[in-house]
A and B are shown apart, each in its own frame.
Chain A
Amino acid sequence: MRVYKPDAKWHEMVSGGYIPQAGNAVEYDVSGWRTDRPVRDDECCIDCLFCWVYCPDNAIFCKDGSVVGQSIDLVHCKGCGICAAVCPKDCIEMVPESELSGDDNE
């Protein structure tokens, strides 16, 4: 497996612009793209798992068939809002990052 460092030079790469490593998107931090963050009310959640199914970035953590009590992967969540849109109970609110404290961003 080859992993390119951010300062890799052109002749160190596989020609064709290929990524010669499976599944390395996990290393890509997209939290900076997000303007609104999904915040779920676990009291309201019925564990239908729609958010888990629909999330395009696998950013909804799920354990033993339940998202209740689990966090959301804020490194890979872009804030697209699909989870909030598909929630049948409207349990997920998209909260502007500017309204959240810096500590919550970690």
Chain B
Amino acid sequence: MPQVEPMEGNQAVAEAMRQINPDVVAAYPITPSTEVVQTFAQFVADGEVDTNFVAVESEHSAMSACTSAAAAGGRVMNATSSAGLALMWEILYITASLRMPVILTVVNRALSGNINIHCDHSDTMGARDAGWIQIYAENVQESYDNLIQAVAIGEQADVRLPVMSCLDGFLVSHSYELLQVEDDDAVKDFVGPYVPRYPLLDVENPLTMGPLDLYDFYFEHKRDQWAAYEPAKQAVIEVGQRFGETFGRSYGLFEKYQLDDAEVAIVALGSMAGTAKDAVESLRAEGVKAGLLKLRLFRPFPAEELAEALAGLKAVAVCDRAASFGAQAGPLYAEITSALYTAGVSVPTVNYIYGLGGRQIAPDEIISIYRDLEQVAAEGQPDQPLQFIGVRAFSKEEHADMYAF
């Protein structure tokens, strides 16, 4: 029988890993993801899994070992955060290019400097072009559910891509919630046995992976890789539906919360969506037609589906928990506005940068975003499309010149 137990996000992820029982885990600890691997290492030590656990000397080595073990034909998992993900950078691209369905839990944390251990999405946003599928969780249950689905998505025959399953550092990773833990056998059945398509250990069919690949073939190989992401998006939809049929919790590309009749809406990733739902309810009680679009899948980016979901709104706020220095806005905003423009959807959009380095975002602040959106909707365009919320700053009235930056 499925059990309901209080668990932290990290423990929930480790529990899912125990149930999946991967062939290889190669990892190096970093806050706030340490507990995932630490808890899992105990399962290995206690003989609860058959996993070959490799303790390596850096994250670069961890992802190298994971990619190699996947090339050999294994089902492989790992977890990291922030600077750990940054140190994997070189190998992240190789994992995806070689089409290795490695599953990496990323407990989102700010990048240095200065050193900060708390949540923002700058780490995974920086890795958004590496070719990994990226799925973001709102809470502990989704962190558990997403990891199980990630295996089925990444390993699908026409996908074969690595997946980052992301959860917010401390806000989810170290928060206790009631988690529905499914039966071990049900989880094992859901992910099924792993049958690698081209295992290097298949000595009857030798092949070479990752050779020198210059101007005569590299471009064709990249073009072929590009073709994997539409099937990947479909796999996220199909696996999310199958998960719902099996366990009663369905998932899609994104969650629409009070969105269908909404006039003003927020788009957000991760744990902020939970707070925003409360804000939506408060505003709805006042008669404000507020809605929320919680994006789950950031890579591959579901541009057409998002444009369709946001069409008809009078104003949209896109909330970015990431810095993208030198860009015109945060990465999520840039993607959303690009999607709207391409689809010919004209909706006034405002970008809110929030929560960097673990700065809390309070319900009142989210409500203030909706209030701003009502004004944007009335005026037809935002006064200032890039806003920072929750940072100590001059007010517009006090210092108009500073406000512009």
Chain A positions near chain B (C-beta within 8 angstroms)? 4, 6, 8-11, 13-22
Nearest CB in chain A: distance from B218 CB, A: 8
Q: Is residue B38 contacting chain A, with contact meaning CB distance below 8 A?
A: no
A16 touches B98 (CB 8 A): yes
Q: Is residue B190 contacting chain A, with contact meaning CB distance below 8 A?
A: no
Nearest 6 CB-CB pairings of A with B: A10-B220, A17-B221, A19-B208, A16-B99, A10-B223, A22-B206
Nearest-CB residue, chain B, relative to A6: B216
Q: Which residue in A9, A17, A19 is a CB contact (below 8 Å) of B98?
A: A17
A18 touches B224 (CB 8 A): no
A17 touches B207 (CB 8 A): no
B220 touches A18 (CB 8 A): no
List 13 contacting pairs A-B, 8 Å CB cutoff, sorted by A: A8-B217, A10-B220, A14-B207, A15-B160, A16-B98, A16-B160, A16-B209, A17-B98, A17-B209, A17-B210, A17-B213, A21-B207, A22-B208
> Given contacts A6-B216, A11-B227, are A19 and B207 in contact (CB under 8 A)?
yes
> Given contacts A11-B224, A13-B221, are A18 and B198 in contact (CB under 8 A)?
yes
> Given contacts A18-B209, A21-B207, are A13 and B220 in contact (CB under 8 A)?
yes
> Given contacts A15-B99, A16-B97, A16-B99, are A10 and B221 in contact (CB under 8 A)?
yes
At the interface, is chain B mostly helix, strand, loop or mixed?
A: loop
For the complex, what is the distance from the CA of A17 to the CA of B228, rounded to whole Å? Answer: 13
> Given contacts A16-B198, A22-B206, are A9 and B99 in contact (CB under 8 A)?
no
B219 proximity list for chain A (CB < 8 A)? 10
Q: Which residue in B97, B206, B216, B227 is a CB contact (below 8 Å) of A17?
A: B97
B224 touches A10 (CB 8 A): yes
B97 touches A18 (CB 8 A): no
B175 proximity list for chain A (CB < 8 A)? none
Chain B positions near chain A (C-beta within 8 angstroms)? 97-99, 160, 198, 205-211, 213, 216-221, 223-225, 227-228
> Given contacts A17-B97, A17-B213, are A9 and B220 in contact (CB under 8 A)?
yes
Beyond A4-B217, A20-B207, 9 extra complex contacts between A and B, CB < 8 Å:
A9-B220, A14-B198, A14-B207, A16-B97, A17-B98, A17-B210, A17-B218, A18-B98, A21-B207
A19 touches B211 (CB 8 A): yes
For the complex, what is the distance from the CA of A9 to the CA of B220, rounded to whole Å? Answer: 7
Nearest-CB residue, chain A, relative to B100: A16
A19 proximity list for chain B (CB < 8 A)? 207-208, 211
B209 proximity list for chain A (CB < 8 A)? 16-18
Nearest-CB residue, chain A, relative to B228: A15
For the complex, what is the distance from the CA of A80 to the CA of B196, rounded to whole Å? Answer: 39
B221 proximity list for chain A (CB < 8 A)? 10, 13, 16-17
B210 proximity list for chain A (CB < 8 A)? 17
For the complex, what is the distance from the CA of A14 to the CA of B225, rounded to whole Å? Answer: 10
Nearest CB in chain A: distance from B157 CB, A: 11
> Given contacts A4-B217, A6-B216, A22-B206, are A15 and B225 in contact (CB under 8 A)?
yes
B99 proximity list for chain A (CB < 8 A)? 15-16
B227 proximity list for chain A (CB < 8 A)? 10-11
For the complex, what is the distance from the CA of A9 to the CA of B217, rounded to whole Å? Answer: 9
B224 touches A13 (CB 8 A): yes
Nearest CB in chain B: distance from A15 CB, A: 5
Nearest CB in chain A: distance from B307 CB, A: 28
A18 proximity list for chain B (CB < 8 A)? 98, 198, 207-209
Nearest CB in chain B: distance from A31 CB, A: 17
Nearest CB in chain A: distance from B244 CB, A: 30
Nearest-CB residue, chain A, relative to B99: A16
For the complex, what is the distance from the CA of A17 to the CA of B217, rounded to whole Å? Answer: 9
For the complex, what is the distance from the CA of A10 to the CA of B218, rounded to whole Å? Answer: 10
For the complex, what is the distance from the CA of A81 to the CA of B160, rounded to whole Å? Answer: 43
For the complex, what is the distance from the CA of A19 to the CA of B209, rounded to whole Å? Answer: 7
For the complex, what is the distance from the CA of A10 to the CA of B224, rounded to whole Å? Answer: 6
Nearest CB in chain B: distance from A26 CB, A: 13
For the complex, what is the distance from the CA of A4 to the CA of B227, rounded to whole Å? Answer: 20
Nearest CB in chain A: distance from B287 CB, A: 53
B207 proximity list for chain A (CB < 8 A)? 14, 18-22
B223 proximity list for chain A (CB < 8 A)? 10
Nearest CB in chain A: distance from B117 CB, A: 36
For the complex, what is the distance from the CA of A21 to the CA of B211, rounded to whole Å? Answer: 12
A8 touches B220 (CB 8 A): yes
